[in-house]
Structure 1
Amino acid sequence: MIFKALKTVKTAVLGLCISAGLIGFSAQAENIDYLSAINSDLNASPLTFSKGELRWAKVGDLRPTQALIGYDQVNYKLGRYQAEPKKMYEEICESYGAGEKKVKWSEQSSPLKPGSFNCPLAIGSEAAEMKTAIVGPDGHLYLTDGHHTFSTFIDMENGGAQMPVLIKIQDNWSASESDTIEQAMSQFWQRLAQTNNSWQFTASGEAISYVNMPTTLGQDSLANQAFRALVYFARDISWVKKQAEAINFLEFHWGYELAKSISVDEQRLVEQAYYLSKIEEVAKQMLAYAPEQAIASSGRSAKQLGQKAAWDNNSDKTLQQLVCGSKKGRLGKLGFALSYKQPGVSLECN
């Protein structure tokens, strides 16, 4: 049993059985001793963790398996969390597999203290929504999903490296017959690549040796891939994620394909008009590919990666709402990113 949620005087029942036969505790229950549950995992060696388990870790201790993120996808979340703290707690609860709607929090709540806010469901109830990691031979947890989410957590003002996060153990690959840890780690990274669980490339597509991969999350460690964010912002304009095959690094594959024909001046991605023009250019290029065209090294066609049939009224609407949103007085995704990067910036809305 992973979680040892302790009873207190006011708490009679804790949690329910959840998927994979694990025991979780309800984030709705009051006075749960989260600290004991978290410390139990933080004091345990990941080498003992098993596939399918849900385990606490400090976000700063998680090792990335990709060298890149789209900074402005993270900046969008950072800007939105500042303006709408409820959204931050919703996404923390979602990362716990505990639902994201009707979260209860107060001014005294903190992402550093899981017991200070209440999620709508028992932790792990929606395990499919949780981020995943694989245990390496060196005893570290290597993140295989959630680089943008956890980079946001580590970069946000009320988060940081010490923030506890809950992850699902995708597998434990610590066992090795190698003579040295160096050999074991080399084989581990080869296995990550062979199973499509790592992205060992620079922003320009050059291969990176595992010894040169970053060891922490966040914008201070991971490099920027501007096209990764452009593809993210183009979602529902030129491609639909729910219609795309669920493959790892989908947006990176789109980005590397687009970089073959589109140039971007990253220094100008603080200018509203320029940024919007590049999102539109990216979106229209995605639509211009033949549906059967292979995209980068994905082994999938444009259509298989969610390409829409054509630019439509919804494409226009979504593009227009990227800066100022669909509701009066509320920013869109790009608007939050720009306002976070340039506090006090004046944004133009149609």
Structure 2
Amino acid sequence: MKQSHLQCMRPSHGRATGIATGIVMLMATWSGAVFADATLITVKASAIHPTQPAIGKAEVAYDLAHYRQKSRALFDDFCKGEGAGKVADFSDSSTLAIATSFRCAKPAGAQPDAVKSAVIAPDGQVYLTDGHHTVSALRASTPDSDITLSLRITDDLRHLSSMAVFWDYMQQHHLVWLEGSTGKIAPQELPTQVGIDVMQDDPYRSVLYFLRGIAYERPEPSPPFLEFYLGAWLKSQMAITPADTATQQAYFALLQKAAQLLVQASPQTHTLPNSASPTLSQLGQLSEVNHKKLNKLNNPDGKLALLYSKP
């Protein structure tokens, strides 16, 4: 498909630079504008490409259970992702498929830093660099509609000479995670869409989601793919079997074990065999388990009870 003329963006030769003001149209798949030095685009969810092969599907399942329990949470997450604060007005008939059926507290782009980040490749396609779980949950919450989402462009890389050069750039700048369930994968093996039905499941990534603030605290700023690095290390220490995730109590026991392993490990331990990989300490490892927060997960009103609740 031939790329249409771009009127507001010109290719940048560095991160988040070289972006002019106005409206852009590209192959009728996305459009965008500049908000306070941040270029935001709107794009159909099906046109968003991932930069990682897997997501923690238990994390997405928890989000969906939360949306079923409290519909406001769905619209709050959507509005936050639009850089528009929380939801201001919605009803039982509101749906993400119909933008006029609800209203966010602020205009889209009012809080651009809250919008999930992405890059534009030489082929004109949009690649998500943060927010795979959020996009997957929002898509799954509205399965019969190709919803429209806002993304914040950090790198406009259409000036690069080829997709091979693009993927080299992405790896050099730590904007892609190419560790699959059985080892390293090629960029061409990444899924073609972001979503719970098309991406692999990484159960270790889900464990790290639930242990945030319990066995580690995300440092600020956080390095890209922090939970995947920690998950890769955890995978080298323990195996997760179907029995570990079959029931709420089994999953809680799994989290207890994982939390202890993480806090007891040497802070200088590298998360991958590669000595250039970040250490546990660099990724926010805590010195002891926060048992109060851990036990709260298993309360009758805790995250695990909601995760294992029947729809």
Interval of TM-score (by shorter of Structure 1 and Structure 2): 0.7 to 0.9
- In structure 2, relative to structure 1, the CA distance for the partners of 1:48 and 1:335 (3 Å cut) is closer
Instruction: Report 1:80-229 matches (<5 A).
Output: 80-100=66-86, 103-156=88-141, 158-159=142-143, 162-177=146-161, 184-204=162-182, 206-229=183-206
Residues 52-71 of structure 1 mapped to structure 2, 5 A cutoff: 52-71=38-57
Aligned to 1:324, the other structure's residue is in SS state coil
RMSD: 2.7
Task: Kindly indicate whether the alpha-carbon contact (under 8 Å) linking 1:134 and 1:173 is maintained by their aligned counterparts in 2.
Answer: yes
TM-score by length of 2: 0.85
Query: What amino acid is the match of 2:41?
Result: R
1:245-293, CA deviations, whole angstroms, 9 ceiling, x for partnerless residues? 4111000000111111111103541211211111111111110122233
Secondary structure (helix, strand or coil) at the match of 2:291 reads: helix
Distance 1:267 1:222, change over 3 A: farther
Provide the rounded CA distance (Å) in 1 between the counterparts of 2:98 and 2:154.
25
Please give the secondary structure, in 2, of the residue aligned with 1:283. Answer: helix
Shift of 1:160: 5.1
Q: What amino acid is aligned across from residue 177 of structure 2 in structure 1?
A: W
Q: Cα distance, 1:304 vs. partner?
A: 2.1
Q: Report the AA paired with residue 291 of structure 2.
A: D
Query: Is 1:301 matched with 2:286?
Result: no
- Contact preservation (8 Å) 1:270, 1:338: no
Match among 309, 319, 341 for residue 294 of structure 2: 319
CA distance in 1, matches of 2:140, 2:54: 15
For residues 295 and 237 of structure 2, what CA distance do their matches in structure 1 show? 24
| 2:227 paired residue number | 251
Aligned to 2:306: 336
SS at match of 2:237: coil
State the one-letter code of the partner of 2:165.
Q
Change (3 A) 1:49 1:151: same
Question: Aligned in 2, Cα 1:235/1:132: closer, same or farther, shift over 3 Å?
Answer: same
Comparing 132-141 and 71-80, the one that deviates more: 132-141
* Distance in 2 separating the partners of 1:138 and 1:48: 17
Larger C-alpha radius of gyration, 1 or 2? 1
- Does the 8 Å contact 2:47/2:193 carry over to 1? yes
Tell me if 1:287 matches 2:263.
yes
Shift of 1:45: 6.0
Query: Does the CA-based 8 Å contact 2:31-2:42 persist in structure 1?
Result: no
Code of the aligned partner of 2:280:
A
Q: What residue number does 2:13 align with?
A: none
CA distance in 2, matches of 1:113, 1:264: 40
Equivalent position amino acid for 2:206 in 1: A
Measured in 2, the distance between the counterparts of 1:307 and 1:225 equals 20
CA distance in 2, matches of 1:85, 1:146: 20
- AA partner of residue 147 (structure 2): M
> Contact 2:32 / 2:40 at 8 angstroms: preserved in 1?
no
Note if contact 1:66-1:213 (Cα within 8 Å) is conserved in structure 2.
Answer: yes
> Which amino acid in the other structure matches residue 214 of structure 1?
P
Distance in structure 1 (CA, Å) of the matches to 2:279 and 2:80: 31
5+ residue gaps, structure 1, are 3-19, 24-36, 178-183, 326-330, 345-350
Uncovered stretches (5+) of structure 2, i.e. residues with no partner: 1-6, 9-18
Deviations 1:194-248 (A, max 9, x none): 11111112124x111122211011122110111000011111111122x454111
Quickly say closer, same or farther: Cα 1:261–1:63, change in 2 above 3 A: same
State the 1:114 CA deviation.
Answer: 2.2
Q: Is 2:30–2:41's contact at 8 Å kept on the other side of the alignment? A: no
Runs of 4+ in structure 1 deviating by more than 4 angstroms, as ranges, are 20-23, 40-43, 45-51
Which TM-score applies when normalising by structure 1?
Answer: 0.76
Structure number with the higher strand fraction is 2
Sort the Cα spacing of 1:146 and 1:308 in 2 relative to 1 into closer, same or farther, 3 A. same
